Structure 1
Amino acid sequence: MASTIIPQNINDLLTQKNIDWAMVLRATLEHFDCSTGTLHFLNPSTSLLELEAQIGIPDFLLPKVSKIPIGKGMAGIAAERMKPVEMCNLQTDDSGVARPAAKETKVEGSLAAPLLFKEKLYGTIGIAKPVPYDFTETEIDLLMKIGETICQKMS
């Protein structure tokens, strides 16, 4: 089985005193060869996923992704199920998981993973490619491991 060891550059960013979440997201996107991503943290008082960092999201979509209810869209469903949600091609999805505005990102291969540590939800991380793509089990496991490490820094 392939390793789910967090790449050193991401680990280094997560060991800094004041973590730059946009840099963590950028390094994660680079590792997975993705162009677009989001990092949402759960606000326990509102139960909304609040945007902490994003890369590649068009400005006109930022109001729609800044606060996401649990159960809505890929990030919200990943949070609700506490399991990753993947789409090979978001542009052709008709499952209802992806919100209509998500297609405006022009991404195709997409993966949203919950940020989980000790069965507690801290938020979600989403990554996407501009081409159809099926993420491997190893890639999904690694994104979950990165998410768990993010949670440990938040707790």
Structure 2
Amino acid sequence: MDDHAELEQLIHAFGAQTGTIHWIRDDGLLHLAACVGQFPPPVMDAIRVIPVGKGLAGLAAERRSCVTICNLQTDDSGQARPAARSTGMEGAITAPCLAPDGRVVGVIGVANAQARTFTDAEQAALMEHGRALASRRACRSA
């Protein structure tokens, strides 16, 4: 299954409206590999390449754990990049894709049109999905 199909399944499972998968390339940056949903052009420009440590995806990679925001539209934590608000989404969650050797090789994330608090079980499920994606990607690259 390709990244886009995997992402569509994940969005359905989370009842989300949008999602992205980014993979870390040799330059150490997160590069957009798949996206589902409507993203305004300025957002697409902002999410094509993301530095580790910046925005929800970059923070998930840096922290090696899920990053959640209940409402992107009202959040003042500084975790989300300014362009995130222009998606119109509210609840968002990102998780690192951890390779079998423990390296962060990418990030997966989904967002909902309404405010949402993600449960511990949902966060664990997204972490597991990220591990499975990374493992399948490693097998395809071998």
Taking structure 2 as the reference length, what is the TM-score of the superposition? 0.92
Q: CA deviation at 1:72?
A: 0.5
1:110 matched to 2:92? The reply is yes
Moved more, 20-29 or 112-121: 112-121
1:87 matched to 2:69? The reply is yes
**Take 2:17 and 2:67, find their aligned partners in 1: how far apart are those partners?**
18
**Take 1:57 and 1:50, find their aligned partners in 2: how far apart are those partners?**
18
Q: How much is the aligned-residue C-alpha RMSD, in angstroms?
A: 0.9
**For the pair shown, which has the larger CA radius of gyration, 1 or 2?**
1
Q: CA deviation at 1:115?
A: 0.5
**Residue matched to 1:5:** none
Q: CA deviation at 1:59?
A: 4.1
Which residues in structure 2 correspond to 1:3-152 (within 5 Å)?
19-43=1-25, 45-60=26-41, 61-117=43-99, 118-152=101-135
**Take 1:39 and 1:74, find their aligned partners in 2: how far apart are those partners?**
12
**Take 2:109 and 2:85, find their aligned partners in 1: how far apart are those partners?**
14
**Take 2:85 and 2:75, find their aligned partners in 1: how far apart are those partners?**
9
Q: CA deviation at 1:28?
A: 0.4
The 8 Å contact of residues 40 and 87 in structure 2, kept in 1 or not, is answered as no
Matched AA of 1:139:
E
Matched AA of 1:107:
M
Q: CA deviation at 1:95?
A: 1.0
Unaligned runs of 5+ in 1: 1-18
Matched AA of 2:105:
Y
The 8 Å contact of residues 36 and 56 in structure 1, kept in 2 or not, is answered as yes
Deviation sequence 1:61-86 (CA, Å, 0-9, x none) = 21110100001100001101111100
Matched AA of 1:48:
L
**Take 1:110 and 1:134, find their aligned partners in 2: how far apart are those partners?**
9
